[in-house]
Structures are given as structure tokens and as C-alpha cells.
Amino acid sequence: MTVRTRFAPSPTGLLHIGNARAALFNFLYARHHGGQFLLRIEDTDRERSTQKAVDVLFDGLAWMGIEADEKPVFQSTRQARHTEVAHALLERGLAYRCYCTAEELKEMRETAMAEGRPPRYNGMWRDRDPSEAPANTPYTIRIKAPREGETVIHDLVQGDVRVANAELDDMIILRADGTPVYQLAVVVDDHDMDITHVIRGDDHLTNTFRQAMIYRAMGWDLPHFAHLPLIHGPDGAKLSKRHGAQSVVEFREMGYLPEALNNYLLRLGWGHGDAEILSREEQIRLFDLDGVGRSPSRMDYAKLLHINGVWMRQADDTRLTNDVMERLGKMEGVDTSDATRARVLDLMPGLKERAKTLVELADNAAFLGRSVPLTFDPKAEKQLTPENRVMLGKLAEALKATEPFGKEAIDATLRQFAETHEMKLGKVAQPLRAAVTGSTMSPGIDDTLAALGRDEVIARINAVTAHE
């Protein structure tokens, strides 16, 4: 058997991280078992399903590196096939036409609730003679649910899950306007796409019992099911906006790397010993459903931030520079010329050690593209006392004579200057850092000066000493 999994989102909004994790698990499971991962867009809700939402889904999955092995299937194009199956069940006597009006259905629900029963359809048209059907009256098609025994789903995460068949009702599979319902479309599509494993959130577990009725009525083999526990907020409540970011787009805009988000989502509800930071290759090698827990996971934004920092320190400097330059282009007063790019790339090894997101990285690198006079943060202002401005004027003369203007020579100049003036190196470096960056935080001062270049360093110092 060739393993075939699928991710089947409805394009009605952003790619939520719960759905993103389901996509990741499906992708990794297929890759781990040498199978195929497919994508199906469940766009039957034509009012809410938009091309923009579809594009957001594709973009988010591509950013995460989750690629389908076949062209995406759009559920809306398969309505004729769904309808065909509904009528096949009708012809076999496994489904029937229901002529109940909205008023009759409302009365059924109210009566059931008044009698303490679940508000279900009572099977009014299940066994009636078709000759009793009112003429020219719209009808739905309902499947005949089993009345006795129980349905058992052998779930690869939850274990065996049972429901008494008496709890199932004769659900509608084709609406009065001739359109198929979700439950029917999903089953037909999964069957026709040869899906062997349905891996999805456990909020679909109830749907699985209803869908099993269609599989069995059609004589089709059920796929293997694996229902993943949901992701909750840090407080254990349903994840919501008040907890923080919820969608892939939000995390990308906040400066998270796709490797970090993938890594975090994988470890959110799945584990393999003490393994924490895993490459895509390692994820594929190790992932299987036996490592998925049964309890809901809690979103830990601090842990995600930590993992992002780890991945940033491992990331390629050119790649990070490209992202930083794009973000700098959206900042006011920051030059994004080739000269700034060269400075950012040169200083990237030190910059990425001090940042945990791409946003933070760009903010820390912005001084490399700013023009004098710089804006100083409060801590930097405190370093630029009248005495320190005088000292910086003298230091500028020493730096003008430094040859070559590289890290080692700059370090030697600063140490010699501090020794000559009987100062600790930090008393020289901190005012200097404030003068050339506008902050008291930056990579090593020798690296920073080398990246800026002699002319820019002297210009920035002169802009400060001019206000002695």
C-alpha cells in the first residue's frame, strides 16, 4: 500500500496554526513512509471561499516548505461526482427522499428537546411509500443510518472510539437545491483520491462517524484515521486573538523563520525523546503517529521565540540580509543602497547572535543605513556627556590614522587609546558605540566600525563632537 495523505482546508480565512500543524503532520507522515501528500481545497462555500483566501493558503504552505505531490483538487469542480454517489445510494435503497418542510423539522427538534431527547430528525420519510410524496415539492436525500449496534473507529492517535448507532441520525447528503453536503463531498473525494490516511484535528471526530456511514453504504474501505488534539492557548483555553498570533501570516510578519515555526509546531503535541531542534530531513526520518499525544497542546510563545533564535543563528547570512533589506525598505529615513547592504552583510554574524526575530534583526541593523545626525535612545544620550564628546574628538584622530581600517587594527587602536589616556576599554567603547549607532547595544565595536567604514565612522563622530 502506498501511503497517501491530504490536507483539505476551506479557503475562508488565514492559515491557522492548527491547520498548519495538520498539514505538516500529513506531509511528514507521507514522506516518512515514502508516500504522497495531496492538497484539496474545499471551496464549496462559494460566498466565503475567495481566490484571495486560496492564494493565502498556497503562499503559507509554500513558505513552510509543504509541497503537494499532485496538482491541488478543488472540491467545487466535483459536484457532479458527489451528486452521482448520492443518487447511487438512493437507487440501492440505502438513502431516501425526505420531503419535510422547515416548519416540520423545527417542530421535531422542539418536541425532542421538550422530551429530553437530542434534537434529531425522526426518520419521518425513511420507510414511507414514495407514492405518498407530495407533488412538485422540493426534497433532500438522506442516508439511512444503522439503527442497532455500534460504530467503532480505530483511531491511530485516540485508540478505539465507539458510538452507539442509535446516536446517529439519517443525515442529509444532498440538499433540496441539489448541492452535496460537506460530509458526502469529503468521503467521495477522499475515496476517489485514494487517500489512505486522514490526519486531522479531533474536532472532526464526530464527523468521522457520520462519514463512516457513507463509506460502508458504498462498500468502500475506510481510510486510517488519526485525530490530532487541538492547540490551546497558554492558559488552556481555546486559542484566540487575546493569546497572540494565530496564523502563519502573522508569524511570518512578526519575523519568524519557517524552519522555526515548522520545528515548533512539530514538537507541539509530538515528541521523540529529548530531540528539540530538528531539520526537515530529521523530521521526516523520525516522525510517526505513535509519537503524537492524546491531550491538547498549549501554545508557548516564549518557547517559539527561543527556537526562532536558534534557527536564526544557524541561518545563512545572505538570506538574512535579503530579508533585513526588505524590512529596512519599509522604514523611514533608512538608506537601502548597495553600500548599506554590504554593511548589513558584513555585520550579520554579530547581528544575528543578538536577535530572536527578523523584525528585531532589522531594527538592530537599521543604524547601518541611517544618515547623520542620528537619533539617540535615552541610554545612548547618557553616554554622550560633554567629557565623552571631547574624548571622542581625540579618538577620531586616532581612527583616521588606523591602517588598514579592519577589525584587528581597530581593536589595537582602541586599546592603545584607552591605555594612553588611562581609561578602561569599556569607557571608550560605550560612548563610541552610542555615537556611531545611536544605541548602547550592537555587535562588537571593532566589527561595527569595520562594517561602517572609516569615512562613515568619522562623520558620525564629528556629528556628535560638533555639539560639545
Domain with 87 in it: what CATH number?
A: 3.90.800.10
Distance CA 362, CA 320 (A): 9
pLDDT digits (tens, 9 = 90+) for 382-400: 999 999 999 999 999 999 9
Calculate what percentage of the chain has a pLDDT beyond 90: 81
On whether the CB atoms of residues 88 and 62 are closer than 8 A, the answer is no
Query: Does residue 336 sit in the same domain as residue 384?
Result: no
pLDDT over threshold 70, residue 467: no
The arithmetic mean of pLDDT across residues 188-205, rounded, is: 97
Cα(79)–Cα(298) distance, integer angstroms: 38
**pLDDT at residue 104 in the model:** 87
Region 411-425 average pLDDT: 95
**Which three-class secondary structure state does DSSP give residue 34?**
coil
Burial (Cβ within 10 Å: 0-12, 13-18, ≥19) of residue 325: buried
Number of domains in the chain: 3
- The answer to whether 23 and 57 are in contact (CB under 8 A) is no
Alpha-carbon gap, residue 105 to 101, rounded angstroms: 6
271 belongs to a structural domain: no
Please say if the pLDDT value at position 468 is more than 70.
Answer: no
pLDDT for the residue numbered 137: 87
In a domain, 455, yes or no: yes
CA pair distance 201, 270, nearest whole angstrom: 14
- Residue span of the structural domain in which 337 resides: 316-365
How high does pLDDT run on average in the chain?
Answer: 93
> Which residue among 125, 154, 182 closes a domain?
182
* Dihedral sign from CA coordinates of 122, 128, 130, 135: negative
Pair (92, 126) in one structural domain: yes
Is 241 annotated for ligand binding?
yes
| Residue 245: predicted pLDDT | 67
DSSP SS3 for 140: strand
Q: Could you tell me if 91 and 123 lie in one domain?
A: yes
Q: Looking at the domain assignment, is residue 19 inside a domain?
A: no
Query: Rounded to whole angstroms, how far apart are CA atoms 436 and 368?
Result: 9
Q: Kindly write down the DSSP assignment for every residue of 241-276, as one continuous string.
A: GGGS--BHHHHHHTT--HHHHHHHHHHSSB--TT--
Reply yes or no on whether the pLDDT at 243 is more than 80: no
Active site residues: 241
CB under 8 A, 24+ apart: contacts of 275-284: 276/307, 277/307, 277/310, 277/311, 280/65, 283/28, 284/28, 284/31, 284/32
Q: Helix-strand-coil percent breakdown of the chain, rounded to 5?
A: 50, 10, 35
154 in the same domain as 85: yes
The answer on 112 and 167 residing in a single domain is yes
Claim to verify: residue 383 and residue 360 sit in the same structural domain? no
Whether 361 and 394 share a structural domain: no
Look at residue 334 in the predicted model and tell me its pLDDT: 96
Flag whether 145 is in a domain: yes
Poorest-confidence range of 92-106, 181-195, 361-375?
92-106
| One domain, residues 351 and 444 | no
HSE-CB at 184 with a 13 A cutoff on CA atoms is 30
| Claim to verify: residue 395 and residue 338 sit in the same structural domain | no
